[in-house]
């Protein structure tokens, strides 16, 4: 069994991609959360370069970060800008100490620094990064497979049985480092969903995210309180997200999360996109526009539509490529 560390800043979306790749590799995973000190947390990653790369790894980490000490794993998978600084420094340290016996370092997403500081970078097609050790994917890495969906359906179908079909899973994001979800933007989403509910005999299964924020979630719950054909996840019970992916007949998704759109597309069911107000020019919004352009998704109108598309599962091929590169290095 391959041993693996997953290193992120704790963000759920980044952790999900690390876990997906580790699972595809069949690796035994231990997650590590790291916090980067000032000024590195604010500076562009390209600032952490020679001669500044000679800084001791511990000088990058805030107190409370998980320890990065031996015994070392076979592979390290990191995701996110802040994790890239830490793992590139860790790779420098271990290559100096262990040579070819150092772990194999894979970074997910464009690291915003040279890919030469990693053994392999897994970036998305829209990322402006090219090198011999860079693999491009169309979708964010995910673990949504037919087997996973079938297991989730068996678990969650009884809970959602009382909601009439067609069942529409509504996946709502929120603020990001490039976008702030304003109250008026959330009110627009609610108005669109209320119109959709009036125009369907089916039900809405709604899950906000942590990024939706307390105010946004409160507005959402107030708008649909008492509506028998609407379920809103309350964060108090176990997250039914996978169950919603499994039982839904179609999706309504906000255009702020590449992860959510990628996972929903893996089901092969119709994706209807709601564009958050003023959410333009970001990578997620461009990703959503690309899905619409390629016929995988459509903008949400007054009524639901039905169509088919072909989803290319990239995870198996990616895992095989990572395995091959690990063997070639050794």
Q: Which pLDDT tens digit goes with each residue over 28-71?
A: 999 999 999 888 788 888 877 655 666 667 778 888 899 999 99
Tokens in use for 133? 């050790």
Helix (H, G, I), strand (E, B) or coil at 282: coil
Q: In Å, how far from its chain's centre is CA 221?
A: 25
Signed CA dihedral, 319, 128, 11, 69: sign only:
positive
- The residue whose two tokens read 């590449």 is 258
Q: What is the pLDDT of residues 219-276, one digit of tens each?
A: 999 999 999 999 999 888 888 999 999 999 999 999 999 999 999 999 999 999 999 9
- CATH class of the domain defined by 146-299: alpha beta
Which residues, including other chains, have CB under 8 Å from residue 248's CB and lie 6 or more apart? Answer: 167, 168, 169, 205, 267, 269
Q: What is the pLDDT of residues 190-224, one digit of tens each?
A: 999 999 999 999 999 999 998 999 999 999 999 99
**Plot region of 99 (φ>0 → left; ψ -120 to 50 → alpha; else → beta):** left
**CATH hierarchy code of domain 3-143+315-329:** 3.40.50
Would you list the domain boundaries of the chain?
A: 3-143+315-329, 146-299
For the segment 113-123, the average pLDDT, to the nearest whole number, is: 94
**How far apart (Å, rounded) are the C-alpha atoms in residues 330 and 326?**
6
> Which helix (H) or strand (E) covers residue 124, if one does?
strand 120-124
Contact 33, 66 (CB under 8 A): yes
Q: How many residues does the chain have?
A: 330
Centre a 10 Å sphere on the Cβ of residue 79 and count the other Cβ atoms it contains: 30
For the segment 277-291, the average pLDDT, to the nearest whole number, is: 90
The β-bridge partners of 32 are 7
Q: What is the pLDDT of residue 56?
A: 66
Contact 258, 284 (CB under 8 A): yes
> Which helix (H) or strand (E) covers residue 3, if one does?
strand 3-8
For the segment 90-95, the average pLDDT, to the nearest whole number, is: 92
Domains 3-143+315-329 and 146-299 share a fold: yes
pLDDT at 303 > cutoff 60: yes
Secondary structure percentages of the chain, helix, strand, coil, to 5: 40, 20, 40
């Amino acid at each position: 069994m391959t041993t693996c560390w997953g290193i992120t800043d704790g963000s759920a979306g980044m952790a999900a991609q690390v876990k997906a790749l580790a699972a595809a590799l069949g690796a035994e995973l231990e997650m590590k959360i790291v916090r980067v000190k000032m000024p590195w947390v604010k500076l562009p990653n390209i600032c952490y370069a020679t001669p500044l790369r000679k800084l001791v790894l511990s000088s990058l980490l805030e107190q409370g970060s998980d320890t990065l000490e031996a015994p070392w794993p076979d592979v390290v998978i990191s995701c996110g800008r802040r994790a890239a600084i830490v793992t590139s420094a860790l790779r420098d340290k271990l290559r100096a100490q262990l040579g070819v016996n150092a772990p194999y370092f894979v970074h997910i997403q464009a690291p915003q620094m040279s890919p030469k500081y990693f053994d392999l970078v897994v970036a998305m097609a829209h990322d402006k990064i090219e090198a011999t050790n860079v693999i491009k994917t169309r979708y964010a890495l995910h673990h949504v497979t037919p087997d996973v969906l079938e297991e989730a359906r068996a678990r969650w179908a009884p809970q959602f049985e009382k909601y009439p079909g067609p069942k529409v899973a509504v996946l709502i994001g929120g603020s990001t480092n490039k976008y702030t979800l304003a109250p008026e933007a959330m009110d627009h989403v609610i108005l669109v969903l209320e119109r959709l509910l009036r125009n369907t005999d089916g039900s809405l299964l709604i899950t906000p995210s942590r990024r939706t924020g307390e105010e946004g979630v409160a507005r959402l719950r107030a708008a649909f309180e008492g509506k028998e054909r609407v379920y809103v996840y309350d964060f108090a019970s176990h997250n039914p997200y996978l169950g919603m992916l499994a039982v839904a007949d179609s999706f309504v998704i906000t255009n702020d999360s590449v992860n959510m759109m990628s996972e929903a597309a893996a089901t092969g069911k119709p994706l209807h996109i709601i564009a958050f107000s003023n959410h333009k020019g970001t990578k997620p919004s461009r990703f959503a526009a690309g899905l619409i352009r390629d016929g995988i998704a459509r903008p949400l109108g007054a009524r639901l539509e039905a169509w088919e598309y072909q989803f290319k599962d990239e995870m198996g091929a990616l895992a095989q490529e990572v395995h091959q590169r690990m063997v070639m290095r050794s």
